[in-house]
Chains A and B, each alone.
Chain A
Amino acid sequence: MKKNSIGGRSLIGLCFLFLYLPIFLLIIFSFNKGDSSAVWRGFSLKWYVELFHNRLVIEGLATTLLVSLLATAISTVAGTFAAIGIYNLTKKWRGPILVVNDLPMMNADIVTGVSLCLFFVAFFNGWHGIASWINAHQTLFTLPTRLHLGLSTLLIAHVCFDIPYVILNVAPRLRQMDSNLVEAAQDLGCTWMQAFVKVILPEIKPGIVSGALIAFTMSVDDFVISYFTAGSATQTLAMVIYGMTKKRVTPVVNAVSTLMFLAVLIVLIINNVRSAKMAKLAAKRASFEPVPESPRLRRFREWMATPRGKLARRVTAGVLCAAFVATTVFLTAFTTSRPVVNVCSWGEYIDEDLITEFEEQTGIRVNYQTAESNEALYSLLSNGGADYDVVVPSDYMISQLIEEDMLQPLDYSQIPNFSLISNRFKNLPYDPENKYTVPYTWGTVGIIYNSAMIEDEIDSWSCLYDDKYAGQVLLIGNSRDAFGIALKYLGYSMNTTDPDEIREAYDLVRDAYERGVFQGKVMDEVFQTMEGGNAAFATYYAGDYLSMLENNEDLRFVVPKEGSNWFVDAMCVLKDCPNYDNAMKWINFIASTDSNLRNMDYIWYASPNEEALELYPEWYEEQYGEPLDPEIYSIMAAPQEVLDRCEMYICLPKPTRALYNELWIKLGI
């Protein structure tokens, strides 16, 4: 066969350049001194050091590898046999089965995820009934009545979406294969199994390999389906990373990816060098004589063919299966026997040393998970897909959860540190009698602008709709905030339910949109875009502004004179949670002054703990040896006169939410 010309080779090279350009960038920024993925602040290995202290990332990586490898192995074997089976069916059957096979691929991931979650939950409920009935009618053994989403459901889900890819890759090879080959092998005395191993397998091997590769890739990269099927104690790396997107994705993840990349690369190189050597050896040998089979191997092979050997084979297989089941059972039992508390919060929203400290003090294991947004959390909870103990939603979501009777009142006698919370943050509208919540953080939303690009003094939302800044404004990427700000600018309440007012706000945004004022809608990408100086204006949270300021000193923050939104994120406990007392201990621990100081320092969001709030400037000076800029402090913890012109979101009634949604979609069309 002709080899490729230089032109052909350079085309392959170009393709690889295209595939690897972003990867190189990603690797480079894992060595960044700062935490930005847009601004280079010098070389440092600090993220690699931090990686080994970041439990979420390490555990996520372990889960990801375990689940992906297992799912790939299972689906490769199952998919190959299924493909062979399907290709032996008559065409009448084959067509429909192949269509159904492709369904998990054709469905949006979210729909697959949600429907699997509903399916599992329904199954668990059915199981609960059956198991209780069996337990009640005999005393020989007791079946567990309460099943949870966890590693096993995660694995099933992954196998579910992996198999179609394997079949899709094996199928073309089967089509290409000459069916006479198998018949010939069988005519020559092979059993079907032997024919399979010696004839079919080598023929379809490339298809199996590429199917397995794709299956593994899909598993490693999947977020949505895992999110809905992993339960409250298991978290994959992708889930950890998506959880961070409410704030910033730390370069620790870049570091993990870099290490993974290097590991795979090294394995590849070793493997390739070895097989090149083997090929050379084989070529050498082949030219002299066939390689003689070692006598020991031959004897073993002959013994395996005897009935006793067959029995031994089956026993070995059985033992392996039993061992696998036993390990799984043991692992689950081991992890559940320790007292635990399941916490779900936002990514990068806690100083992780606090988790370790709590575990050391109390001996309770913290299963710390992260959600992407309030709505994502709500979606999971309302499908029954999570048995968290403590969640940390925002104000309006809390009132919705209370309304739908999903929260359990707290036992404040077990939370003495609640008394440290400033009175300003008690009895707020979302929880008027303060029965359900202990505040976690609070802050304001405002305009972030780049003073190097803008000369004017900014103090009003008007700049967001001004032609003068066409193409320089980033619209905040969710309907509530985008329309809420427009409402505030027009002098209305952010919580209005008057459709006319909302439509007026929509017209304002729509008009600016059509005039090309907005560069785009952004959420967490705002970090990268603003730090890199790619846009002049954005709307985001004060705490996040302070984190951006570290990477771009030109950025400024202002809470406009028309007023804005201020928010509280608070800890609450879900109804019927399995570890209520541990949850109280956790909440009390987090509400302490020390925890609040450290969290504030880590995440730049203001604390509701009165003492911590007052002590922070002093504490900062002690830690870093330099005084805290009072301006920064006042941005972080907005003074009362700023809060007075701000409004807190309340949960909107359903028709209003539907209107928001409709208008938001119209904006996108």
Chain B
Amino acid sequence: MRNKRGLFAVPYVIWMALIVVVPIIIMLVYSLTVEVETSSGTVLEASFENYTGMTLYAGVFGRSFWLALIATAMCLLVGYPVAYLMSREGPGFQRVAMALIMLPMWMNFLLRTYSWMSILENNGLLNQLFQKIGVIYLYNKITGSDIEYFQLIRTPGAVVLGMVYNYLPFMILPIYTVLCKLDSRLIEAAQDLGANSANVFRRVILPLSVSGIVSGVTMVFVPSVSTFAISRLLGGGTQMMLGDLIENQFLGGAYNPHLGAAISMVMMVIVVVCMVVMNHFGDGEEEAMVL
């Protein structure tokens, strides 16, 4: 029976081979060629040049993965408790909450980010609030400095905030769906056996929700690494990230799709390795996963 149901995967595998794998091969070919000017116009030539020059961007790679990691950790820290608390509410509340968590994401990304800009600007809402309630006055008194505002926007912090904001729902939802399914009798059993609430969480709830965490982390970490608009708008371009670098090669002044393809291939390989390691970790916990 196991293999017969496996046939459901066949059409999808064919689809993937066509729509996912073939384009990636096209990109791979792209990344392994360079344009060379000759007397008869530009021709393509096979070359590793795009990859060998990659060391120049090591800093950008490091920063991207580091900021994405921080953002993912923060999403997990905020998202897990929220998902957990949500799963303990009544069914009506749950239904509404789930939709309400996704709803902001249906407003256009750019508009949302512009909104954050006007909150974080030097003259923005947050700084005005700080001024009104005297936080800035207090800060100046304590540190002896003389500032009119906190530099919130165009900092790494703002970039992380943007990532957390945009991807938090993708962390909450999968964890929430897994926690909903959690058998409450298991928790009761653990309590009956004398576990305190910390132990119940650590020994029962957390291991059972690992698959949701893995899904959530994937959906937050991966887009965070390759985002470009967030770092451009909230980071003020001072925090160049992989997404910017690639975007600049395909849509920007640098226009060099071959290099862009190479950078994205390297990025993809690193991400895939991260994910495989993490999936392995997630798989260890599961046993009865087959229908």
Q: Residues on A close to B: CB < 8 A?
A: 1-4, 8-9, 11-12, 15-16, 18-23, 25-26, 37-38, 78, 81-82, 84-90, 93, 95, 97-112, 114-116, 118-119, 122, 156, 160, 163, 165, 168-169, 171-179, 182, 192, 200, 203, 206-207, 209-210, 213-214, 216-217, 220-221, 223, 237-238, 241-242, 245, 249, 253-254, 257, 260-261, 264-265, 268, 271-272, 275-276, 279, 372-373, 375-376, 378-379, 471, 475, 477-480, 518-523, 525, 528-529, 532-535, 654, 657-658, 660-662, 664-666, 668-669
Residue of B whose beta carbon sits closest to that of A157: B19
> Do A241 and B110 touch across chains, with their CB atoms under 8 A apart?
yes
Knowing that A206-B180, A268-B99 touch, tell me 15 more A-B residue pairs with CB under 8 angstroms: A12-B97, A93-B6, A99-B272, A101-B16, A118-B26, A175-B211, A177-B288, A207-B177, A275-B95, A520-B153, A534-B124, A654-B35, A657-B253, A665-B254, A668-B240
Known: A108-B246, A657-B255. A19 touches B154 (CB 8 A): no
Chain B residue numbers with a CB within 8 Å of A209 are 98, 177
CB distance from A232 to the nearest CB of B (A): 17
**A379:B257 contact, CB within 8 angstroms:** yes
Nearest-neighbour CB distance to chain B for A2, whole angstroms, equals 7
Q: Contact: A532 with B124, CB < 8 Å? A: yes
A521 touches B117 (CB 8 A): no
Report the minimum CB–CB distance from A574 to chain B (whole Å).
Answer: 18
Residues of A contacting B35 with CB < 8 Å?
Answer: 654
Knowing A82-B9, A99-B275, A107-B264 are in contact, say whether A176-B178 is a contact too (CB < 8 A). yes
Contact across chains for A525 and B104 when beta carbons are under 8 A apart: no
Find chain B residues with CB under 8 A from A475 CB: 237
Whole-angstrom CA separation of A652 from B235 in the bound complex: 29
Give the residue of A21, A206, A238, A471 whose beta carbon is less than 8 angstroms from that of B119: A21
Say whether A521 contacts B238, CB under 8 Å: yes
A253 touches B108 (CB 8 A): yes
Please provide the 4 A-B residue pairs with the shortest distance between their CB atoms, ordered closest to farther: A520-B236, A85-B8, A521-B237, A668-B240
- Name 22 interchain pairs, CB-CB below 8 A, sorted by A: A4-B85, A4-B88, A11-B85, A23-B104, A23-B112, A26-B111, A84-B5, A97-B16, A101-B20, A105-B223, A111-B264, A163-B12, A168-B215, A177-B291, A210-B174, A216-B106, A217-B169, A518-B238, A520-B237, A521-B232, A660-B254, A665-B56
Question: In the bound complex, do residue A111 and residue B252 qualify as a contact, i.e. CB atoms below 8 Å apart?
Answer: no
Tell me the complex Cα distance, A519–B117, Å.
14
- Asked if residues A521 and B236 are in contact (CB atoms below 8 Å), the reply is yes
Q: Are B177 and A105 in contact (CB under 8 A)?
A: no
Complex contact A519–B236 (CB within 8 A): yes
Q: Check A657/B291 contact, CB under 8 A, given A241-B108, A253-B108.
A: no
- The CA of A328 and the CA of B174, in the complex, are separated in Å by 35
Cα distance A254–B291 in the bound complex, in angstroms: 47
Beta-carbon contact of B290 and A88 below 8 Å: yes
**CB–CB A26/B112 < 8 A:** yes
Nearest A residue (CB) for B84: A8
* Interface contact A169-B261, CB-CB below 8 Å: no
Verify A479–B254 contact, CB threshold 8 A.
yes
Q: Is the CB of A160 within 8 A of B20?
A: yes
B79 smallest CB distance to A (angstroms):
8
CB distance from A567 to the nearest CB of B (A): 15
**Given that A22-B112, A534-B123, A668-B240 are contacting pairs, would A661 and B9 also be in contact in the complex, using a CB cutoff of 8 Å?**
no
Give the residues from 94 to 116 in chain B that come closer than 8 angstroms, CB to CB, to chain A: 95-112, 114-116
**Smallest CB gap from B89: residue in A:** A4
Q: Are B245 and A217 in contact (CB under 8 A)?
A: no
Q: Which residues of A contact B153 (CB under 8 A)?
A: 520
Residues of chain B contacted by A662 (CB below 8 angstroms): 56
B122–chain A nearest beta-carbon distance, Å: 5
Query: How far apart are B33's CB and chain A's nearest CB, in angstroms?
Result: 13
Cα–Cα, bound, A88→B9 (Å): 9
Alpha-carbon separation in the docked complex, A330 to B2 (Å): 43
- Knowing A3-B89, A105-B219, A108-B267, say if A254 contacts B111 (CB, 8 Å): yes
Whether the pair B103, A108 counts as a contact (CB closer than 8 A) is no
Whether B111 and A179, one on each chain, are in contact in the complex, defined by CB atoms closer than 8 angstroms, is no
Q: How far is the CB of A37 from chain B (nearest CB, A)?
A: 6
Q: Do residues B9 and A107 form an inter-chain contact, with CB atoms below 8 A?
A: no
**Interface size of B as a range:** 35 or more
With A109-B226, A119-B22, A532-B124: A22-B219 Cβ-Cβ less than 8 Å = no
Chain B residues positioned under 8 Å from A216 (CB to CB) = 102, 106
Chain A: minimal CB distance from B269 (Å)? 9
A105 surroundings in chain B (CB, below 8 A): 218-219, 222-223
| Bound Cα distance A221, B167 (Å) | 12
Q: Are B260 and A529 in contact (CB under 8 A)?
A: no
A654 to B97, CA, bound (A): 53
User: Could you tell me if B251 and A110 are in contact, using CB atoms closer than 8 angstroms?
Assistant: yes
Evaluate contact between A669 and B218: CB separation under 8 angstroms.
no
Residues of A within 8 A of B131 (CB): none
The answer to whether B98 touches A210, judged by C-beta atoms less than 8 angstroms apart, is yes
Whether B215 lies near A249 (C-beta < 8 A) is no
Do the beta carbons of B291 and A520 come within 8 Å of each other? no
Whether B51 sits at the interface, judged by CB under 8 Å, is no
B5 in contact with A379 (CB, 8 Å): no
Is the beta-carbon distance between A214 and B219 smaller than 8 angstroms?
A: yes
Q: Bound complex: CA of A18 vs CA of B168, how far in Å?
A: 10
Contact of B238 among A99, A178, A666, A668 (CB under 8 A): A668
In Å, the complex CA distance between A102 and B35 comes to 31
Q: How far is the CA of A271 from the CA of B127 in the complex (A)?
A: 40
Report the Cα distance A373→B232, complex, angstroms.
15
Let me know if B24 and A103 touch, CB within 8 A: yes
Q: Nearest-CB distance from B115 to chain A (Å)? A: 3
Take A172-B177, A206-B177 as given contacts and tell me if A111 and B119 are in contact as well, using a CB distance cutoff of 8 Å: no
CB–CB A528/B95 < 8 A: no
Which residues from chain A contact B267 at a C-beta distance below 8 Å? 108
Please name the residue on chain A nearest to B107 by beta carbon: A257
Please indicate the chain B residues that have their CB under 8 angstroms from the CB of A477 in the complex. 232, 237
**Are A115 and B24 neighbours in the complex by a CB distance under 8 Å?**
yes
A residues near B4, Cβ cutoff 8 Å = 88
Q: How far is the CA of A532 from the CA of B173 in the complex (A)?
A: 36
On whether A85 and B288 interact (CB within 8 A), knowing A110-B246, A119-B23, the answer reads no
Within the complex, what minimum Cβ distance (angstroms) separates A83 from chain B?
9
Bound CA–CA A220/B86 (angstroms): 25
A81 near B8: Cβ-Cβ < 8 Å? yes
In the complex, what distance in Å separates the CA atom of A547 from the CA atom of B219? 40
Q: Once the chains bind, are B16 and A100 in contact (CB under 8 Å)?
A: yes
**Of all chain A residues, which has the CB nearest B242?**
A108
Query: Is the C-beta of B284 less than 8 angstroms from some C-beta in chain A?
Result: no
Residue of A nearest to B239 (CB): A668
Q: Is B233 an interface residue (CB 8 A)?
A: yes
Taking the closest CB of chain A, its distance from the CB of B106, in whole angstroms, is 5
A26 with B115: CB separation less than 8 A: yes
Contact across chains for A238 and B108 when beta carbons are under 8 A apart: yes
Closest to A7 in B: B85
With A12-B86, A207-B177, A664-B254 as contacts: A111 and B27 at CB distance below 8 Å = yes
Asked if B250 and A657 sit within 8 Å, CB to CB, the answer is no
B173 touches A529 (CB 8 A): no
CA distance A84 to B1 in the complex (A): 13
Known A4-B89, A19-B104; judge A169-B9 contact (CB<8 A): no
Complex interface residues of chain B between 163 and 205 (CB less than 8 A to chain A): 165, 168-170, 173-174, 176-178, 180-181, 184
Cα separation A475 to B5 with both chains bound (whole Å) = 59
Among B121-162, those with CB < 8 Å from A are 121-125, 151, 153-154
A174 and B289 contacting across the interface, CB-CB below 8 Å: yes
CB distance from B155 to the nearest CB of A (A): 9
Residue of A nearest to B105 (CB): A217
Q: Which residue of A lies closest to B155 (CB)?
A: A520
Determine how close the nearest CB of chain B comes to the CB of A261; give it in whole angstroms: 7
User: When chains A and B are docked, how far (Å) is the Cα of A108 from the Cα of B168?
Assistant: 19
Task: Tell me if B118 counts as interface (CB < 8 A to partner A).
Answer: yes
Cα(A480)–Cα(B254), bound, Å: 9
In the bound complex, CA of A186 to CA of B219 (Å): 35
Asked if B78 is an interface residue, CB under 8 A from chain A, the answer is: yes
- Among A11, A85, A221, A658, the residue within 8 A (CB) of B256 is A658
